[in-house]
A and B are shown apart, each in its own frame.
Chain A
Amino acid sequence: DAKTTQPPSMDCAEGRAANLPCNHSTISGNEYVYWYRQIHSQGPQYIIHGLKNNETNEMASLIITEDRKSSTLILPHATLRDTAVYYCIVRPLSGSARQLTFGSGTQLTVLP
């Protein structure tokens, strides 16, 4: 799976948008960009994924650049409960029985 690079930490004010960047310059054409988050002492939670188009769901938006070498996860109105480590993962075809390879992620701290 392609390697990803994320900043180690970010702060965000409560109620503001949190924009978490991810670089994946070696991504292959069949690889998706996935985002998971891990709240302290819990298992990872799926957030969103995409191939090349921007995606939005009830949790977040995912913006993928046209060359697919980077992406940004957007939490539109961050709350204190969004404080977590956010992992950007690149992997091939969704639905396949493959393990996820976790990098070091970004520790997002939402400040009151």
Chain B
Amino acid sequence: GAVVSQHPSWVICKSGTSVKIECRSLDFQATTMFWYRQFPKQSLMLMATSNEGSKATYEQGVEKDKFLINHASLTLSTLTVTSAHPEDSSFYICSAPHLGASEAFFGQGTRLTVV
């Protein structure tokens, strides 16, 4: 089946620094990718929709200047958490819908810890 790879799996960063998370569709092209955030013991919440070649669309309450999304190619979307703070510590997950498939494919997630 189709594979979505997310990197890194986990990252620890200092408060005030920026962190980039990559999401790649390995064997299919994805014009759209989705970024979710999951806090402990909570469900996945959609943060933004990444669109290849155009600006991302953000869900209400998600700061676009803090969570920078770049979808420069049909197989890669990146999420950069800028000026990270401890409250940004969370599990970030990307998803890429394969238009020829019935199901959505998810990356393995990135555990971000800001200290």
Q: Could you tell me which A residues sit within 8 Å of B by CB distance? A: 34, 38, 41-46, 49, 87, 94-105
Contacts and interface: CB of A to CB of B under 8 A. Distances in A.
A24 B5 CA distance: 32
Which secondary structure characterizes the binding site on chain B? strand
Most buried by A among B45, B46, B103: B103
B108 interface: yes
B67 interface: no
Contact of B106 (A43, A49, A96): A43
A47 to B, nearest CB: 9
Given A101-B46, A103-B43, A96 B97 contact: yes
Contact of B105 (A46, A94, A98): A46
A103 B4 CA distance: 22
B57 to A, nearest CB: 10
A110 B100 CA distance: 34
Nearest to B106: A43
Interface in B27-45: 31-32, 34, 36, 43-45
Contact of A94 (B36, B102, B107): B102
A44 B106 CA distance: 6
B104 interface: yes
Contacts of A34: 103
